[in-house]
Amino acid sequence: MTPLILGLVALAVLLLLVAAYSRAHPRDLLKGIRFSGGVALGLATIALAVVGRVGLAFLAAAGAWALLTGTMPPWLRVPGRPGETGGSREAPSPRRTTISRTEALKVLGLEEGATEEQIRAAHRRLMLQIHPDKGGTSYLAAKINEAKDVLLKR
């Protein structure tokens, strides 16, 4: 008998919510749905933590956080990204040339007197080999770009 009463109470609450939402402005409706979803995910987080599903609890908590606050949860933020924890919203500082012309020639495998076309060809050849998307490192790609800039006097 008790489950029947609980079911009827839940149905009545649901009908009242539907009636209230049907008269609401779309913006308020969206806020209500986000809040309801956040609360539901918060309750799911608690339930998952109680039964020992901690990994899923963190995912549910992240969803609840995002719905309730509109921001990325702190435990999922990547430090160093602008707008994230530890990041900076300032424009990046201009790049400084730290290698000499001789070093730049060595990096690109060229000799003194190389033409602009040879410099660009050597740069392209090396970048195709060591680009981060091809398994290389961003450090090496930056050095090759820097060498090209030094030799082209940018």
Q: What is the pLDDT of residue 50?
A: 92
In a domain, 2, yes or no: no
What CATH number does residue 124 fall under? 1.10.287.110
Number of structural domains found in the chain: 2
Query: What domain range is 54 assigned to?
Result: 26-79
Residue 124, pLDDT score: 92
Helix-strand-coil split of the chain, %, nearest 5: 70, 0, 30
Residues of the chain with pLDDT under 50: 84-91
Confirm whether 90 is domain-assigned: no
pTM (global) more than 0.85: no
pLDDT of residue 84: 46
Number of residues written out for the chain: 154
In a domain, 95, yes or no: no
The pLDDT of residue 148: 92
CA-CA distance, 139 to 125, in Å (whole number)? 17
pLDDT tens-digit series, residues 135-150: 788 888 889 999 999 9
